[in-house]
Amino acid sequence: MKLVTFTEGGHTRVGAVVGRDVVDAAGASGIPSNMQAVLAAGRPALDAMAELVESSARRIPLADVTLEAPVRPSKYLAVSLNYADHIAETGKERPEFPTFFNKQISCIIGPGTAIHRPRVSRKLDYEGELAFVIGRRCRHVPKQRAHEVIAGYMAANDVSVRDWQTRSHTWTLGKSFDTHGPIGPWIVTPDEVGNPHALDIKTRVNGEYRQSFNTRHMIFDCFDLVEYLSTVMTLEPGDIISTGTSSGVGVMMQLRGYLKPGDVVTIEIEKIGALTNPVVDEPVSTDRI
């Protein structure tokens, strides 16, 4: 299934995408009203959603709804330097262990929402990535069982402000500006994705291909990341882990390929779909003093 959070008629709720329609789960028995709760409810809620998809439940054309970020997590973690060719273009050494950083959850936006070029920097960059969503509260998960705690997969754009990124060894500031966490367009359940380590990923800016790679080239795969993280912390339903990017980011282009207002960025992942966001200058309306 393709699980979505969407807004229609001024009301936000959950559902599933079938073809060019959204199956509306509003009021359906056994299906909570927000995605984090759906995932926390586990198999009964997902089975209820699957039954709803097969029923005569209300369907709304995709064109008539606004897709939101599929889930609002308690944690958004991402891994750096997880593809050999990206390591090569940065001149870094291949890591012995995965290196994680936080993207603060206030950065999260959904498909179609504008990425802001911040007032304080012009070094705005994209990073196309596969992300996965935790479906069960878990700790100390061995790699061979990691697939059991993954609810599904989605596209992510690890938007980065490069000069602010290098100001801190943790990278958190440069990775967490508001609007710099596009995810979506939906969560695709593992039965539809199959092997998450054999997916083509392409990043386009204004239709021009900037990145083209396959998840088979990850140094630490999705299941490694679950094992490593769950050794340290409890993972909660809805938590997002983004798996790193490959070569082709703007900062490494000979003529810097930084994003500017008017640009449109698309991250497309095989078996998942396309996540598209425009770029605008940070508006004055973000002032909240």
Confidence of residue 288 (pLDDT cuts 50, 70, 90): confident
d(CA 16, CA 60): 10
Q: What is the pLDDT of residue 95?
A: 85
Confidence of residue 46 (pLDDT cuts 50, 70, 90): very high
Whether the predicted pLDDT of 251 surpasses 80? no
For the chain, domain boundaries: 2-67, 76-286
Whether the predicted pLDDT of 254 surpasses 70? no
Q: How many residues does the chain have?
A: 289
The burial of 188, by beta-carbon neighbours within 10 Å (0-12 exposed, 13-18 middle, 19 or more buried), is given as: buried
Whether the predicted pLDDT of 255 surpasses 70? no
Are the CB atoms for 130 and 155 separated by under 8 Å?
yes
Q: What is the pLDDT of residue 191?
A: 97
Amino acid code (one letter) for 56: S
d(CA 252, CA 163): 13
Q: What is the pLDDT of residue 248?
A: 85
Q: What is the pLDDT of residue 57?
A: 81
**What is the chain's Cα-based Rg?**
18
Topology of domain 76-286 in CATH is Fumarylacetoacetate hydrolase; domain 2 (3.90.850)
Whether the predicted pLDDT of 136 surpasses 90? yes
d(CA 181, CA 201): 17
Q: What is the pLDDT of residue 87?
A: 79
* pTM for the model: 0.95
Least confident of 31-40, 108-117, 223-232, 251-260: 251-260
d(CA 148, CA 141): 9
Whether the predicted pLDDT of 253 surpasses 80? no
- Residues of the chain above pLDDT 70, percent: 99
How many of the other CB atoms lie within 10 Å of CB of 154?
A: 29
Amino acid code (one letter) for 135: G
d(CA 167, CA 196): 33
Least confident of 126-130, 222-226, 237-241, 244-248: 244-248
Q: What is the pLDDT of residue 263?
A: 97
HEC states along 24-91? ECCCCCCCCCCHHHHHHHCHHHHHHHHHHHHCCCCEEEHHHCEECCCCCCCCEEEEECCEHHHHHHHC
Are the CB atoms for 131 and 103 separated by under 8 Å?
no
How far from each other are the two terminal CA atoms of the chain, in whole angstroms? 42
d(CA 148, CA 73): 19
d(CA 241, CA 276): 19
Average pLDDT, the chain: 95
CATH number of 2-67: 2.30.30.230
Tokens representing 13?
Answer: 């709720």
